[in-house]
Amino acid sequence: MNKRALLLIVGAVFCGVIAILLVNRYITTKEKSIFKGMELTRIVVVNKDVEAGTKIDRDMLATEKIPEKYVHANAISPDDMDIIVGQTLNFPLKQGDPVLFTDLGEERMRMRMEKLAGKVLKGERALSISVDKVTSVSGLLLPNDHVDILGTFRNQETGEEATITLLQNITILAAGSHMSGERQTDRSFSTVTLLVTLQESELLIFAQERGRLVLILRNPEDIETQKEIPKVTFSDIMKSEYLSKLQKNRDLIEIIKQGKSVKAND
């Protein structure tokens, strides 16, 4: 066998070995990908049907192994079992269901919900709407504040935008999860809960889907509402007569200066 033939054989064997290694590596990678997250891990489950409002005790708890990829982010590990004993279930669970931290609630949470329901007057409803820093007066709104609600919408036929006063003198029941009489340490919230009628609820839900809502704060003693407030369009703010009328009305507002009530333009 000449030298050239030997080199060809060695080269072929080497390529074959490389090919086998690459195939094995590909198969191993695929197997890891397929079985990723399938490692079994233990979570806490209930060993019988449990009704909402039940206080958890150890006798109703068990552990079960499930693939890691199917473990809920709020699932409870056996190490945390002692933490949940004595807490109250917010929702009913069936035998074998995992216990989640979101299923649990202290008795005071139930009392808070009852407290909120007690604030809803007969014939009215509690409705939560989304807000941000701007639409919630820089996040300074508090429970029991009174607000007017304005909305900006686009006419689907003409394309014209207009701002309209939707509701006046609406009471805020809660800012985020904070209600009246509770100590509020966190001033950040993304919803406010309003006291409205069923028809007003329909209006606000539809309006929030179609445009942008803004809440404006009222003086708590100012409960007077205005009738037939005209909408404001782009053409309105470009008219000098419109702006002059606004300023004229502002000049009629009384302010307190050195203990005396005077007009704004005095």
Residues 213 and 239 in one domain: no
In residues, how long is the chain?
266
Q: Which pLDDT band holds residue 123 (cuts at 50, 70, 90)?
A: confident
Residues 244 and 174 in one domain: no
* pLDDT recorded at residue 107: 45
Residues 72 and 129 in one domain: no
Alpha helices, H only, the chain: 3-35, 81-84, 107-119, 198-210, 234-237, 240-251
Q: What is the pLDDT of residues 141-181, one digit of tens each?
A: 988 999 999 999 998 888 889 999 999 999 999 888 777 76
Residues 159 and 247 in one domain: no
For the entire predicted model, the pTM comes to 0.53
Residues 154 and 92 in one domain: no
* pLDDT recorded at residue 148: 95
Amino acid at 1: M
* Average of per-residue pLDDT values in the chain: 80
Give the CATH number, domain containing residue 50.
3.90.1210.10
Residues 157 and 253 in one domain: no
Residues 253 and 187 in one domain: no
Residues 220 and 130 in one domain: yes
Residues 67 and 84 in one domain: yes
Q: What percent of the chain has pLDDT over 90?
A: 25
Does the pLDDT at position 75 exceed 80? yes
Q: Which pLDDT band holds residue 108 (cuts at 50, 70, 90)?
A: very low
Does the pLDDT at position 87 exceed 50? yes
Domain count of the fold of the chain: 3
Residue 87 counted as domain residue: yes
Please state, in angstroms and rounded to a whole number, the distance separating the CA atoms of residues 125 and 22.
67
Q: What is the pLDDT of residues 203-225, one digit of tens each?
A: 999 999 999 999 999 998 888 88
Q: What is the pLDDT of residues 1-10, one digit of tens each?
A: 566 666 666 6
Residues 247 and 217 in one domain: no
Q: Which pLDDT band holds residue 260 (cuts at 50, 70, 90)?
A: low
Q: Across 135-186, where does the E strand assignment appear?
A: 146-154, 161-175, 178-179
* pLDDT recorded at residue 36: 58
Residue 33 counted as domain residue: no
Distance of CA 8 to the CA centre of its chain: 69
Please state, in angstroms and rounded to a whole number, the distance separating the CA atoms of residues 34 and 30.
6
Highest mean pLDDT among 112-116, 171-175, 261-265: 171-175
Residues 190 and 215 in one domain: yes
Residue 202 counted as domain residue: yes
- In terms of residue numbers, what domain contains 72? 40-105
